[in-house]
Structure 1
């Protein structure tokens, strides 16, 4: 018999873990937006520094930092743009990855990558570095704003320029206008690129708006959303054979596998979601939401004959979020707010034999219809008609990844509403109207629910079936990032600043 105890046994085990780093976006590798951290502040005050360890600028007024911070090995990694240049050698609009000291917020190194210029829809101006990194050991994995997968040295070039990639200077000066007539000392050390893989040149993808991928690591392999999508007309797929999911060897960057499902012609807008990992019948399974609104379950890559690589991943399971939606000529539904295909921005969250996923009409171009679902991950083949346990309606559109804790699901929508849902029944428990649209996800930590809005409001609620607002801070800049808790600190990123907040701290402002 299905009970709350069965459904959340695995989650209880996760929540019992001690305080630690957060080396990837979401819990490893369920992607649940929860944290075992305790003793976190319910609110903080940017004016007088209450509960603020430090805060640092991410850019000038109007800067677009959409990146969720990642915390590992005494460092914080966060993306931004180059509206606040940190190095005279690196001028102009760029995607920037900052490596900061976890203790002080001081910059240790940066990766400042020039924008693609052949079409603004490949790499939208001033958007910056949107993809969160994934850290394992002394390696930092990232899909940069040009759609290039980068393996970086955690220490930057403090230990020298490690190979095999040695052409950082050339890569970071791709535009001739950035070459200076005389040498300029480095104000901020450059990143150390160990290897790179260009998804456009080598895998044939067509990036749209910019890369937005959180890399999943399983064994020796990286599972990567390619961010392939439509061209500048928003109706045409220029590279219909482009893969949506690729697998690279984390040691070398060698391309070893791909989805092989021909998803691209069915993509409405872009491929937004990153993969998660679950276990089905004792075996690992990769869950990946394609740009066609279908969640695919793949068996992990198994090494074979290198001469046949990239091989095709085995796909024993799939769930169509919108089986009645159109599957052909999807571009004709552009700007149709009444009907059309669905897609999924957030990640599928895997807990036990349950998957929680939110999706619906495209936020910018699609129908006004969205929901969050609870799905069984068991079975074989197309389970769209059989595995839905419940579906809960959201307002118009959603970008959020669900957060599941204590038998509750938290998910936000474009109607400024945070929803609290019973995780077993799918019935609404409570809602709250926030001060703006939500592009981020809720974070559950320390008995609290944290969420930020595009109007710069940062909200805190009690993790409870009774709605209790614990705090609200007006931060004055849009929030796209999900809050992150690690090592006793809550990190909150806006478009212009990163705040490190904690219960006991000496206020500092940089």
Structure 2
């Protein structure tokens, strides 16, 4: 009864936009939580089965595909190696890359043909990027006739999706990512929101999506428990929740998760939870907000009503610290929360209590975030396997196990019952033939 009353009192939305069934506009889809509304999503495929098309993507990029109408977009980066890299005293390891060229690539959704391969920027003094990461890890955002491609400190670009021409660019938003960027951009209303949590400077900014001009910028102002910049960086993607008529732009970071007024950038509340490398995007469901602490491996269920300033312990409904994901985001389906740890342990928890319903060790390691489609959860690992698991069961039920070449760092995308998968080398369209 309490949950029903709370749901009636709270309006929990991912944002004000509504998207058609043929779109997957940004990281984690149209509702920002990994849900696909279609009922006939494909569940079985291989290199020789149910592949509508397969298109090679040059360079290296872990960004997830975004879909609108007849277009599928990804970002990527070509690296020029330095034969004699030199380390910087007190900095990251010697940088093996001396130049990076950034691209946005558009593929025709029906044929897989490359329509646009847009060269956006050349960085002749790139920051160090850990080999596990890529220079093109943030997922772009698409709406109308605009694509917003973000690469962290190297630049943010608005591209006309019809012509492939750059409408505006920003290459002045700087921080030291130390290991590479991964926070994805999002659009709500007329604003494009970016999070830049570097080793030296951590801030959130909102740009006018039409012009690229800064509307507001807010310093994180976190009192870190260490002076080591490696523990200050993070990779979180913001999400907009509407709670009791008030809008919150919730932005994970190292050691804290904060909410800001999306129009002014004023901080509304913060939860101090410790941890670095925060990447999982928060989700809201069943009257609770679910978020993680990054590398310390804690999952929190937070009661959203009345949050302001420092979040007290009493606002935490429950927390767990076992098999919690660091890189993959969380997924809620009904009264179950699904997640997969970086090391491949999948879990199903009760959303109301955090009690484990089941756990199962899957093969390989995981960076890709799970998605929900047709009553199934899709888990994609780094060696190219996808485990399709029943979402409505009280025990682990494997529907299918599928394999593609190349391995997954990007998360899946759906549109009109087609599945779009990006491996380390190719972009695939999967459909029922």
Same fold (TM over 0.5): yes
CA distance 1:404–1:261, change in 2 (3 Å): same
Partner of 1:193: 166
Partner of 2:70: 74
Question: Contact 1:96/1:128 (CA < 8 Å) preserved in 2?
Answer: no
Listed as ranges, the matches of 1:283-298 within 5 Å are 283-290=246-253, 292-298=254-260
Q: Which has the larger radius of gyration?
A: 1
Partner of 2:89: none
Alignment partner of 2:278 out of 344, 348, 354? 344
Instruction: Determine if the alignment matches structure 1 residue 372 to structure 2 residue 299.
Output: yes
Alignment partner of 1:215 out of 167, 173, 185? 185
Instruction: Determine if the alignment matches structure 1 residue 381 to structure 2 residue 344.
Output: no
CA deviation map 1:80-129 (0-9, x unaligned) = 3448xxxxxxxx85333211111111111022345634354168699342
Alignment partner of 2:244 out of 272, 276, 281? 281
- Greater share of strand: 2
Question: Contact 1:17/1:36 (CA < 8 Å) preserved in 2?
Answer: no
Listed as ranges, the matches of 1:286-325 within 5 Å are 286-290=249-253, 292-302=254-264, 313-322=265-274
Shift in Å, 1:321: 2.2
Which 4+ residue blocks in structure 1 deviate beyond 4 angstroms? 4-14, 122-126, 264-267
CA distance 1:64–1:94, change in 2 (3 Å): same
Instruction: Determine if the alignment matches structure 1 residue 270 to structure 2 residue 230.
Output: no
Shift in Å, 1:435: 1.2
CA deviation map 1:180-234 (0-9, x unaligned) = xxxxxxxxxxx31111112xx3x442233333232222221111112x422xxxx
Select between 264-273 and 426-435 the one with higher mean Cα deviation.
Answer: 264-273
Question: Contact 1:116/1:123 (CA < 8 Å) preserved in 2?
Answer: no
The number of aligned residues is 407
Question: Contact 1:416/1:433 (CA < 8 Å) preserved in 2?
Answer: yes
Shift in Å, 1:315: 1.1
Shift in Å, 1:144: 3.0
Instruction: Determine if the alignment matches structure 1 residue 19 to structure 2 residue 21.
Output: yes
Instruction: Determine if the alignment matches structure 1 residue 438 to structure 2 residue 400.
Output: no
CA distance 1:385–1:265, change in 2 (3 Å): closer
Shift in Å, 1:452: 0.9
Secondary structure of 1:386's aligned partner: helix
Shift in Å, 1:254: 0.8
Select between 143-152 and 31-40 the one with higher mean Cα deviation.
Answer: 143-152
Question: Contact 1:317/1:381 (CA < 8 Å) preserved in 2?
Answer: yes
Question: Contact 2:60/2:136 (CA < 8 Å) preserved in 1?
Answer: no
Question: Contact 2:46/2:404 (CA < 8 Å) preserved in 1?
Answer: no
Question: Contact 2:153/2:176 (CA < 8 Å) preserved in 1?
Answer: no
Select between 70-79 and 470-479 the one with higher mean Cα deviation.
Answer: 470-479
TM-score, normalising length: structure 2:
0.85
Alignment partner of 1:150 out of 150, 157, 166? 157
TM-score, normalising length: structure 1:
0.73
Q: Quote the RMSD (CA, aligned, Å).
A: 3.0
Q: Distance in 2 between matches of 1:457 and 1:194?
A: 38
Instruction: Determine if the alignment matches structure 1 residue 399 to structure 2 residue 361.
Output: no
Secondary structure of 1:344's aligned partner: coil
Shift in Å, 1:260: 2.8
Q: Distance in 1 between matches of 2:148 and 2:3?
A: 39
Select between 262-271 and 242-251 the one with higher mean Cα deviation.
Answer: 262-271
Q: Distance in 2 between matches of 1:264 and 1:77?
A: 38
CA deviation map 1:120-167 (0-9, x unaligned) = 4168699342221111211111213663111110113xxxxxxxxxxx
